[in-house]
Structure 1
Amino acid sequence: MTGRVAVVGSFNVDHVWVAASLPRPGETLAGDYRSGPGGKGFNQAIAAARAGAPTDFICALGDDAGGALARALAHDDGIALHDMRSDAPTGTAGIFVGEAGGNSIVIGPGANAALTPAFVDAQRAVIARAAVVVVQLESPLDAITQALRIARGAGAVRVLNPAPANVAVPAELLALADVITPNETEFAALLDAHAGERIDATAIAALGDDTLHALCRRLLPHGTVVVTLGAAGCFVSHGARRVSEAEHARVPGERADAIDTTGAGDAFNGALAASIALGPGCSLNEQLRFANRYAALSTERAGAAVAMPTAAQVQARFGD
């Protein structure tokens, strides 16, 4: 394996409206509009590439302007694109951003929903050469499950970003993952579905470390759980197979002058994947520290994929 990252996931054309606040039901607001590239898969691929890892991106695109945009941007960032052509339009997202940087998002899957296990299987050589393989939940579950099966056979580190939270995660998909990276809402949903534990997502960050570690172990006994906690950083819990780290730890967040949090979670995941791929012998806590910094810097820029910084920009902003 060569330190490469392979991302299997979605590409969307983002349509973004920025207003003083997020609209309430029935409310009409005036704001500014912009459009640009996004989708969890593409955001994470861009982040991994700009963080320094050679990156492959496997996806489904329409034969339209959105698909042409994805192909051009992947080329510009040096990403090896492997796209299934679909008769459906390229995926889209409507994003509303408030003055404080928070957002609400509606997704139109389009071509993303057409990605098949057969196409993923045809990319077996691409997946097998990766050190780290990353998937999310904006693509069909059977396709991303096939990607992790191939990655397991090849010995790659398998990262599941279980987002968005409203998608039910099959037990097999959890079992295939070495690392899962839920935010608080996604973590609460996973606990409810797979551990029979109902917990308020807003209370997760305040839980004691031993309690949070025990919940992580119930959810993923064999692997590593990284719960992202927004500005508070993240909590990491290891299974028995990782002996080089403490069983659990909190990695503090970084201060940021956030203007747009769209794609911050994707920034974290892509940067973490790149750091793992490029530094397999390094401490995961240090890799999480870099991912926190990378995500923090991304929030100081508008947009999703276009907001992803380079590793040099992260170092210039935060130092060593």
Structure 2
Amino acid sequence: MPESRAVACDVAVVGSYNQDFVWRTDHFPVPGETRLGRFSTGPGGKGFNQAVAAARQGAKVIFIGALGRDAIGQGAAALAHAEGIDARWQWCEDQPSGNAAIVLDAAGQNLIVVGSGANLALSPAHVEAQRAAIDAARVVLTQHEVAPDATGRALALAREAGRITVHNPAPPLADEDGSLLPLVDVLTPNETEFTHLLARCAGVAMDAGALGVMADDALHALARRLGVPTVVITLGAAGAFVSHADPARWGDARAAYRVPAARVQPRDTTGAGDAFSGSLAAALAQRGEAPFATAITHATRVAGLATESPGAADAMPTREALRERFG
């Protein structure tokens, strides 16, 4: 197991790499139907998307993940280097690199099937070997596309080191038990992920479609049921909702509030959630004394701008593009 190299770091991301295979068609096919489409391929995976999003916002990023010894893996390693990301790979001899099949319709909506491959082989031992890298980070960001034990070890190491932990609970876990939540400072679910957590961890059944129009005090009360100091629910075109535990507001004047979505022309929503979580981690690492709301506004703009470009990791906007668009 390669030993960790201690370096200065803004964000350490522990997560997945997937090669995305994308088909674009005017309308989603119904079962049994064949439709003509246009094909492309590019880098993705929730963890890698988030790492690229953070790096393109000027953060120094370490990425901890797993690859198969195949052409996809070699390409991923080269791409991480080109993005300036310090990648700490676990190379798997008996697993392919992760991959995903993505179908996009004319409105930019997506259907996704993921073949996890090496991502589910990421071991707690490999994460443990990167302890010094996690210790050096200001923010540690995780998701659900790698082995749960590896995610748990990363969050535990970050908590031991006193680092900010940001967890994106995506995709929802069928056996979700809430065991990671006590290790999380900031949770970033979308509507579906939030209602899944409520059902599994708090015994509350909710319609995800109702969250966008729910009264703030009611939504805040639901978010507090998860026991995480700060919950940020991404609501697509409705923006984001922030819920803080009263003692931990990160400089915000209010415990609960909404931030509107950026005004954009969506083309491909595939990586929007990852753009949000990655850029939020970068903003928290670089925030200084700015209130949390400033980081959320930044993240909504990055996520919005990401939807105007095709692809996942490739669509993550740079800091310069953000300034040009929003000032």
Q: Tell me which interval the TM-score lies in, with the shorter structure as reference length.
A: over 0.9
Deviation string, structure 1 residues 73-107 (Cα, Å, up to 9, x no partner): 11111000000010211000000000000000000
Q: Is the 8 A contact 1:162 1:169 kept in 2?
A: no
Match of 2:111 in 1: 104
Partner of 1:160: 167
Letter in 1 for 2:78: A
TM-score under structure 2 length normalisation: 0.95
- 1:280 deviates by 3.6
Q: Is the 8 A contact 2:9 2:61 kept in 1?
A: no
Query: CA offset at residue 2 of structure 1?
Result: 5.1
- Worse overlay, 165-174 or 288-297: 165-174
Give the aligned partner of residue 269 of structure 2. 261
- Structure 1 match to 2:51: 45
Query: Which of the residues 239, 251, 259 maps onto 2:245?
Result: 239
Structure 2: unaligned runs, 5 residues or longer: 1-6
Residues 9 and 62, structure 2, Cα contact 8 Å, conserved in 1: no
Report the secondary structure of 1:89's partner residue: coil
User: Does structure 2 retain, via aligned residues, the 8 Å contact 1:121–1:147?
Assistant: yes
**2:205 match: secondary structure:** coil
Question: In the TM superposition, what is the alpha-carbon distance from 1:169 to its structure 2 partner?
Answer: 3.1
* Contact persistence 1:3–1:278 (CA under 8 A): no
- Which residue is equivalent to 1:182? 189
Cα offset, 1:170, TM superposition = 3.2
Shift of 1:247: 0.6
Which secondary structure state, in structure 2, belongs to the residue aligned with residue 226 of structure 1?
strand
Structure 2 residue 24 is the aligned partner of structure 1 residue 18? yes
What does residue 3 of structure 2 align with? none
Instruction: Work out whether residues 95 and 105 of structure 1, in 8 Å CA contact, stay in contact via their aligned partners in 2.
Output: yes
SS of the counterpart of 2:179?
helix
Q: Deviations over 1:274-299 (max 9, x none)?
A: 00001142111111001000011000
* Residues 1:137 and 2:149 aligned together: no
Distance in 2, Cα, partners of 1:192 & 1:146: 25
Give the number of equivalent residue pairs: 318
1:287 to 279, 284, 295: 295
- CA–CA separation in structure 1 for the residues paired with 2:289 and 2:168: 22
**d(CA) in 2 for partners of 1:172, 1:233:** 28
Task: State whether residues 14 and 94 of structure 1, in contact with CA within 8 Å, keep that contact through their aligned partners in structure 2.
Answer: yes
Distance 2:115 2:148 in 1: 17
Distance 2:267 2:130 in 1: 38
- Using the TM superposition, give the Cα deviation of residue 23 of structure 1 relative to its aligned residue in structure 2, in angstroms: 1.7
2:282 equivalent in structure 1? 274
Map Cα deviations across residues 45-99 of structure 1 (whole Å, 9 max, x no partner).
0000001100000000011111111111111110000000102110000000000
Shift of 1:167: 4.2
Aligned mates of 2:176, 2:183 — CA distance in 1: 12
Classify the secondary structure of the residue corresponding to 1:59: strand
Report how far residue 302 of structure 1 moved. Answer: 0.4
Identity percentage of aligned residues: 51
Match of 1:202 in 2: 209
Q: Secondary structure at the match of 1:172?
A: coil
> What is the deviation of 1:22?
1.5
Aligned residue type for 1:58: I
Task: Give, in angstroms, the shift of residue 239 of structure 1.
Answer: 1.0
**Is the 1:3–1:277 contact (alpha carbons within 8 Å) kept by the matching residues of 2?**
no
- Indicate whether 1:89 and 2:125 are aligned: no
Structure-1-length-normalised TM-score: 0.97
1:310 pairs, out of 311, 318, 325, with: 318
2:72 to 66, 75, 80: 66
Worse-matched range after superposition: 240-249 or 281-290: 240-249
* CA shift for structure 1 position 166: 4.1
Partner amino acid for 1:307? A
Give per-residue Cα distances to partners, 1:18-38, cap 9 Å, x unaligned: 000122211111000001100
Letter in 2 for 1:6: A
Q: Distance in 1 between matches of 2:30 and 2:197?
A: 28
Gaps of 5+ in 1: none
Letter in 1 for 2:26: A
Q: Per the alignment, in what secondary structure is the counterpart of residue 219 of structure 1? A: coil
2:228 counterpart of 1:225: no
